[in-house]
Chains A and B, each alone.
Chain A
Amino acid sequence: DIVMTQSPDSLAVSLGERATINCKSSQSILYNSNNRNYLAWYQQKPGQPPKLLIYWASTRESGVPDRFSGSGSGTDFTLTISSLQAEDVAVYYCQQYYTNLITFGGGTKVEIK
């Protein structure tokens, strides 16, 4: 199975500042034939199901604010919140869907400093 490792486990960022979350896969999740990285990012607020933010590592889901961006390729990926808002307090998960045994990262909790 592909292991997804997120860092840090938690971070506290001031309102309006940048938040950066890292995700590393145990093997490449870049499919060479289409040059796509099979990685998604989700946001989960307390008591709610996860919400899809980013897919193909960098494509923003419809309706997601442009302060959220995804980058990276191969095995190393980043989710960036360019200017943290109060409503962004949540746990963020990366997910690989490169293989039929889908795996998630352990999650990163984002709080306000």
Chain B
Amino acid sequence: EVHLVESGGGLVQSGGSLRLSCAASGFTFSTYSMNWVRQAPGKGLEWVSYISGSGSTIYFADSVKGRFSISRDNAKNSLYLQMNSLRAEDTAVYYCARDRTTYYDGLTGYSANSFEYWGQGTLVTVSS
């Protein structure tokens, strides 16, 4: 059974940093691209970042580009999101989400997948 468990959320001051982790189990982690999606309190879903299975291809939403970084450790079945220069508008529940299939376009580095599995999320609160 697939499990995704996020951790690392908490309260941080504006301008601070936080590192989120997502522990994966129940599937061959290295063969799936992964994503971070966030949801501000009472708001909709916002995709944040993508990383391919090998970690060679990475994308970010414009709202976090230059401030956030994404990485993975396939030996540890773990996904990470390093968040720097945090702002009040980064306050949200952060979910890690797994692609539905292992499909991956070697030319573009993009998997073009919907998200089949989601973790329960970890709350990040940025105080101003």
What residues on B are CB-neighbors of A44 within 8 Å? Answer: 45
Interface size on B, residues (CB 8 A): 24
Q: How far is the CB of B90 from chain A (nearest CB, A)?
A: 17
What residues on A are CB-neighbors of B113 within 8 Å? Answer: 97
Partner of A49, one of B44, B112, B118: B118
Q: How far is the CB of B5 from chain A (nearest CB, A)?
A: 12
User: Bound state CA distance, A91 and B42, in angstroms?
Assistant: 11
Within 8 A of A (CB), among B48-93: 50, 59, 61-62
Given A102-B50, A106-B44, verify A55-B118 contact (CB < 8 Å): no
What residues on B are CB-neighbors of A95 within 8 Å? Answer: 45, 47, 114-115
Q: How far is the CB of B97 from chain A (nearest CB, A)?
A: 8
Given A40-B114, A49-B95, A52-B114, verify A100-B108 contact (CB < 8 Å): yes
User: Bound state CA distance, A1 and B60, in angstroms?
Assistant: 12
User: Bound state CA distance, A1 and B115, in angstroms?
Assistant: 19
A93 and B44 within 8 A (CB): yes
Given A40-B114, A49-B121, A97-B113, verify A102-B95 contact (CB < 8 Å): no
Q: Is A104 an interface residue (CB 8 A)?
A: yes
Q: Is A71 an interface residue (CB 8 A)?
A: no
State the A residues within 8 Å of B (CB): 1, 38, 40, 42, 44, 48-52, 55, 61, 91, 93, 95, 97-98, 100-107
State the B residues within 8 Å of A (CB): 35, 37, 44-47, 50, 59, 61-62, 95, 100, 108-110, 112-116, 118-121
